[in-house]
Structure 1
């Protein structure tokens, strides 16, 4: 019978990602950046196509916070999160409800897709790659 319990690595990674999402909601820039490796890479929805390095990653968040500040009911909530972990490498996929009240009224389905690649550094899991995407509108 399969177990719904997460392994130690899966639980640690889930907590890391949940803390990251909470930091985004709280607009805690240091919290958003925490838990990432220095040479991380991000593929995001708005330009640029790719972001390399923790400082460049840090610079991408204030414009998003400004967008979210336009509405006190803006959301950035994990709806589902799945983690697969090996000894030194792991990945996670998540679906998030993300947007302003107006965004979510127009399209209430949770639709931000998140894929995260992680590696173990000094005995702790850290995010090495983030990929954010929205489904293409048809």
Structure 2
């Protein structure tokens, strides 16, 4: 599945670039209408649906405008014929936060499915380790 893995890698790298750039339309572009996401900030029971997913990003973009980093450090992908998962570690924080905790990484997991020959994100999970 090397082609599928490359397609997924490109999708996730473009997503991360869109997040870093504050491009909301590009952030949501490859997500399923019924996306489920568990994120760092509340609601802790997660969000469901593309409208709720879209609504989570503007506050993050405001925080990120303080000069925060959002860069993929590592990305691993396992792809089957029509389902896949990927996990990554990202440098995510303001310069002060990353100076105080240089090893801190955001943990990211994606669950994807292939529909009509196109990969879409059906599940997304963001977390930080407890310190």
What are the equivalent positions in structure 2 for 1:18-29 lying under 5 Å apart? Answer: 18-29=13-24
Are 1:43 and 2:38 an aligned pair? yes
- TM-score, normalised by the number of residues in structure 2: 0.96
- Deviation of 1:31 after TM superposition, in Å, equals 0.6
Q: CA RMSD in A?
A: 1.0
Q: Tell me, in whole angstroms, the C-alpha distance in 2 between the residues paired with 1:108 and 1:65.
A: 22
- CA distance in 1 between counterparts of 2:96 and 2:26 reads 27
Larger-gyration structure (1/2): 1
Aligned with 1:53 (options 49, 52, 59): 49
| Structure 1 portions without partners, runs of 5+ | 1-5
Task: State the SS of the aligned residue for 1:80.
Answer: strand
1:3 maps to what in 2? none
**Whole-Å separation in 2 of the counterparts to 1:76 and 1:98:** 5
Secondary structure, counterpart of 1:46 in structure 2: coil
With normalisation by structure 1, the TM-score equals 0.92
Asked if 2 retains the 8 angstrom alpha-carbon contact of 1:95 and 1:110, the reply is no
Query: Are 1:13 and 2:11 matched, yes or no?
Result: no
Aligned to 1:123: 117
Q: Which runs of 5+ in 2 are unaligned?
A: none
Q: Name 1:64's counterpart in structure 2.
A: 60
Q: Segments of 4+ in structure 1 off by > 6 A?
A: none
1:33 alignment counterpart: 28
Aligned with 1:102: secondary structure? helix
Counterparts of residues 90-105 of structure 1 (less than 5 Å):
90-105=84-99
- Deviation for aligned residue 1:14: 0.3
Contact 1:82–1:92 under 8 Å retained in 2:
yes
Aligned length: 130
